[in-house]
Protein backbone atom coordinates (compact mmCIF):
# COMPACT_ATOMS: atom_id res chain seq x y z
CA UNK A 1 0.00 0.00 0.00
CA UNK A 2 2.81 2.45 0.89
CA UNK A 3 2.01 6.13 1.42
CA UNK A 4 -1.46 7.30 2.39
CA UNK A 5 -2.44 10.91 3.05
CA UNK A 6 -4.27 11.55 6.32
CA UNK A 7 -7.38 13.67 5.97
CA UNK A 8 -7.36 14.39 9.70
CA UNK A 9 -5.32 17.18 11.24
CA UNK A 10 -5.67 15.62 14.69
CA UNK A 11 -2.11 14.60 15.59
CA UNK A 12 -3.36 12.17 18.23
CA UNK A 13 -5.50 10.31 15.69
CA UNK A 14 -2.74 10.26 13.08
CA UNK A 15 -0.28 8.81 15.58
CA UNK A 16 -2.73 6.11 16.70
CA UNK A 17 -3.61 5.19 13.12
CA UNK A 18 -0.01 4.92 11.97
CA UNK A 19 1.04 2.88 15.01
CA UNK A 20 -1.39 0.27 13.72
CA UNK A 21 -1.23 0.73 9.93
CA UNK A 22 2.57 0.55 9.77
CA UNK A 23 2.25 -3.12 10.68
CA UNK A 24 0.35 -3.51 7.39
CA UNK A 25 2.90 -1.54 5.35
CA UNK A 26 0.73 1.59 5.33
CA UNK A 27 2.56 4.82 6.20
CA UNK A 28 0.62 7.98 6.96
CA UNK A 29 1.56 11.38 5.54
CA UNK A 30 -0.06 14.42 7.24
CA UNK A 31 -2.12 16.45 4.80
CA UNK A 32 0.06 19.56 5.13
CA UNK A 33 3.13 17.55 4.12
CA UNK A 34 1.20 16.32 1.08
CA UNK A 35 0.60 19.91 -0.01
CA UNK A 36 -3.09 19.95 0.87
CA UNK A 37 -4.36 23.52 1.43
CA UNK A 38 -5.42 24.38 4.98
CA UNK A 39 -9.14 24.26 4.24
CA UNK A 40 -11.80 23.28 6.75
CA UNK A 41 -13.98 20.35 5.83
CA UNK A 42 -17.37 20.77 7.47
CA UNK A 43 -18.41 17.57 9.22
CA UNK A 44 -22.15 17.98 8.84
CA UNK A 45 -23.11 14.36 8.27
CA UNK A 46 -25.55 12.49 10.50
CA UNK A 47 -23.40 9.36 10.65
CA UNK A 48 -19.74 8.50 11.22
CA UNK A 49 -19.71 6.88 7.78
CA UNK A 50 -20.87 10.05 6.03
CA UNK A 51 -18.32 12.27 7.74
CA UNK A 52 -15.48 9.81 7.27
CA UNK A 53 -16.11 9.51 3.54
CA UNK A 54 -16.53 13.25 3.08
CA UNK A 55 -13.19 14.01 4.73
CA UNK A 56 -11.32 11.34 2.78
CA UNK A 57 -12.90 12.28 -0.56
CA UNK A 58 -12.34 16.03 -0.23
CA UNK A 59 -8.67 15.64 0.71
CA UNK A 60 -8.13 13.06 -2.05
CA UNK A 61 -9.65 15.53 -4.53
CA UNK A 62 -7.20 18.21 -3.38
CA UNK A 63 -4.02 16.11 -3.45
CA UNK A 64 -4.77 13.36 -5.96
CA UNK A 65 -3.37 10.71 -3.62
CA UNK A 66 -4.86 7.75 -1.76
CA UNK A 67 -6.38 9.27 1.37
CA UNK A 68 -7.47 7.86 4.73
CA UNK A 69 -9.95 9.46 7.12
CA UNK A 70 -11.30 8.51 10.52
CA UNK A 71 -14.52 9.76 12.04
CA UNK A 72 -15.02 8.59 15.57
CA UNK A 73 -16.85 9.36 18.74
CA UNK A 74 -18.54 8.14 21.88
CA UNK A 75 -22.11 6.87 22.06
CA UNK A 76 -23.73 6.77 25.50
CA UNK A 77 -26.89 4.68 25.79
CA UNK A 78 -28.40 6.74 28.63
CA UNK A 79 -28.11 9.82 26.38
CA UNK A 80 -29.72 8.08 23.39
CA UNK A 81 -26.42 7.81 21.57
CA UNK A 82 -25.07 11.27 22.31
CA UNK A 83 -22.55 12.78 21.91
CA UNK A 84 -22.13 10.57 18.82
CA UNK A 85 -20.98 12.43 15.70
CA UNK A 86 -20.85 15.62 17.78
CA UNK A 87 -18.30 14.15 20.20
CA UNK A 88 -15.56 16.65 19.37
CA UNK A 89 -18.01 19.57 19.60
CA UNK A 90 -20.19 18.30 22.46
CA UNK A 91 -19.69 21.37 24.65
CA UNK A 92 -19.78 23.82 21.73
CA UNK A 93 -17.96 24.62 18.50
CA UNK A 94 -14.96 26.21 20.22
CA UNK A 95 -14.37 23.68 22.96
CA UNK A 96 -11.74 21.21 24.21
CA UNK A 97 -11.51 17.72 25.70
CA UNK A 98 -11.80 18.97 29.27
CA UNK A 99 -15.06 20.82 28.70
CA UNK A 100 -16.52 17.94 26.69
CA UNK A 101 -15.75 15.55 29.54
CA UNK A 102 -17.19 17.93 32.11
CA UNK A 103 -20.44 18.21 30.15
CA UNK A 104 -20.72 14.45 29.83
CA UNK A 105 -20.19 13.95 33.55
CA UNK A 106 -22.78 16.60 34.38
CA UNK A 107 -25.39 14.90 32.18
CA UNK A 108 -24.68 11.56 33.87
CA UNK A 109 -24.65 12.90 37.41
CA UNK A 110 -26.43 10.45 39.73
CA UNK A 111 -26.71 7.76 37.04
CA UNK A 112 -25.58 4.33 38.37
CA UNK A 113 -22.79 2.43 36.65
CA UNK A 114 -25.10 -0.19 35.11
CA UNK A 115 -26.85 2.59 33.17
CA UNK A 116 -23.65 4.29 32.04
CA UNK A 117 -23.04 1.88 29.16
CA UNK A 118 -21.79 3.02 25.80
CA UNK A 119 -19.20 2.50 23.12
CA UNK A 120 -16.44 4.15 21.20
CA UNK A 121 -17.02 4.02 17.43
CA UNK A 122 -14.50 4.52 14.65
CA UNK A 123 -15.26 4.53 10.93
CA UNK A 124 -12.20 4.57 8.70
CA UNK A 125 -12.46 5.26 4.99
CA UNK A 126 -9.83 5.03 2.28
CA UNK A 127 -10.61 6.82 -0.98
CA UNK A 128 -8.59 6.18 -4.14
CA UNK A 129 -7.97 8.69 -6.94
CA UNK A 130 -10.27 6.69 -9.21
CA UNK A 131 -13.14 7.29 -6.77
CA UNK A 132 -13.35 3.80 -5.31
CA UNK A 133 -13.36 3.49 -1.54
CA UNK A 134 -13.03 1.02 1.30
CA UNK A 135 -14.89 1.52 4.59
CA UNK A 136 -14.45 -0.24 7.94
CA UNK A 137 -16.27 0.30 11.23
CA UNK A 138 -14.89 -0.67 14.62
CA UNK A 139 -16.43 -0.47 18.09
CA UNK A 140 -15.45 -1.16 21.68
CA UNK A 141 -18.09 -1.49 24.40
CA UNK A 142 -17.71 -0.13 27.91
CA UNK A 143 -19.00 2.21 30.61
CA UNK A 144 -18.51 5.83 31.56
CA UNK A 145 -16.58 6.38 34.79
CA UNK A 146 -17.79 8.71 37.57
CA UNK A 147 -14.70 10.88 37.22
CA UNK A 148 -11.72 11.35 34.96
CA UNK A 149 -8.77 9.03 35.54
CA UNK A 150 -5.44 8.75 33.74
CA UNK A 151 -3.31 11.07 31.66
CA UNK A 152 -2.85 8.98 28.54
CA UNK A 153 -4.86 9.14 25.35
CA UNK A 154 -7.15 12.02 24.43
CA UNK A 155 -10.80 12.96 24.12
CA UNK A 156 -13.05 10.86 26.35
CA UNK A 157 -10.30 8.32 27.15
CA UNK A 158 -10.05 9.38 30.83
CA UNK A 159 -13.76 8.53 31.25
CA UNK A 160 -14.16 5.34 29.21
CA UNK A 161 -13.77 1.96 30.91
CA UNK A 162 -13.72 -0.84 28.28
CA UNK A 163 -15.62 -4.03 29.10
CA UNK A 164 -13.52 -6.55 30.97
CA UNK A 165 -11.31 -3.90 32.57
CA UNK A 166 -11.46 -1.81 35.73
CA UNK A 167 -9.56 1.22 34.43
CA UNK A 168 -10.14 3.89 31.83
CA UNK A 169 -8.34 4.20 28.51
CA UNK A 170 -6.59 7.13 30.15
CA UNK A 171 -4.67 4.60 32.23
CA UNK A 172 -3.71 2.36 29.30
CA UNK A 173 -0.35 2.56 27.59
CA UNK A 174 -0.72 3.51 23.91
CA UNK A 175 0.44 0.02 22.94
CA UNK A 176 -2.21 -1.71 25.06
CA UNK A 177 -4.98 0.64 23.98
CA UNK A 178 -4.11 -0.01 20.33
CA UNK A 179 -4.74 -3.72 20.86
CA UNK A 180 -8.43 -3.34 21.78
CA UNK A 181 -9.59 0.14 20.77
CA UNK A 182 -12.38 0.99 18.36
CA UNK A 183 -9.79 2.40 15.95
CA UNK A 184 -7.72 -0.79 16.14
CA UNK A 185 -10.82 -2.90 15.47
CA UNK A 186 -11.69 -0.75 12.46
CA UNK A 187 -8.15 -1.00 11.08
CA UNK A 188 -8.08 -4.79 11.45
CA UNK A 189 -11.30 -4.96 9.40
CA UNK A 190 -9.84 -2.47 6.93
CA UNK A 191 -6.76 -4.65 6.46
CA UNK A 192 -8.93 -7.66 5.51
CA UNK A 193 -10.96 -5.54 3.11
CA UNK A 194 -7.77 -4.27 1.46
CA UNK A 195 -6.42 -7.80 1.11
CA UNK A 196 -9.72 -8.88 -0.48
CA UNK A 197 -9.66 -5.83 -2.75
CA UNK A 198 -6.13 -6.61 -3.95
CA UNK A 199 -7.04 -10.25 -4.51
CA UNK A 200 -10.07 -9.26 -6.59
CA UNK A 201 -7.91 -6.85 -8.63
CA UNK A 202 -5.34 -9.59 -9.34
CA UNK A 203 -8.13 -12.00 -10.32
CA UNK A 204 -9.54 -9.40 -12.71
CA UNK A 205 -6.14 -8.91 -14.35
CA UNK A 206 -5.73 -12.68 -14.80
CA UNK A 207 -9.08 -12.91 -16.58
CA UNK A 208 -8.17 -10.20 -19.11
Just list the catalytic residues.
Answer: 71
Q: How far is CA 157 from the centre of its chain?
A: 13
Q: Distance of alpha carbon 7 from its chain centroid, rounded?
A: 12
pLDDT band at residue 24 using 50, 70 and 90 as cut-offs = low
Instruction: Kindly state the DSSP code that residue 30 receives in the 8-state scheme.
Output: E
Rounded to 5°, angle at Cα 183 from 38 and 18: 60
pLDDT in tens, 78-99: 999 999 999 999 999 889 999 9
CA 94 to chain centre: 20
What Cα–Cα distance (Å) separates residue 33 from each residue in 29, 68, 165? 7, 14, 38
In order of start, what are the domains of the chain with their CATH numbers? 2-207 (3.90.950.10)
> pLDDT tens digits, residue range 35-87?
888 888 888 999 999 999 999 999 999 999 999 999 999 999 999 999 999 99
Q: In what order do the strands lie in the sheet with 117-127?
A: 26-30, 2-6, 67-76, 117-127, 133-144, 160-162
Query: Which residues in 21-98 belong to E strands, given as ranges?
Result: 26-30, 67-76
Q: Which of 42, 40, 69, 32 is nearest to 53 (CA)?
A: 69
Q: Does pTM top 0.95 for this prediction? A: no
Of 135, 139, 137, the residue nearest 127 (C-alpha): 135
CB 165 within 8 A of CB 185: no
Amino acid sequence: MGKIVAASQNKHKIKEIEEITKEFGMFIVPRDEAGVPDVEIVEDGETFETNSYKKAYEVMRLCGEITIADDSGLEVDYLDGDPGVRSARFAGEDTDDKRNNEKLLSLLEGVPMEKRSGRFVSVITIVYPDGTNVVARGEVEGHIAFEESGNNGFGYDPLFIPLGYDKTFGNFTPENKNKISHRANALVKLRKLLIDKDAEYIKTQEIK
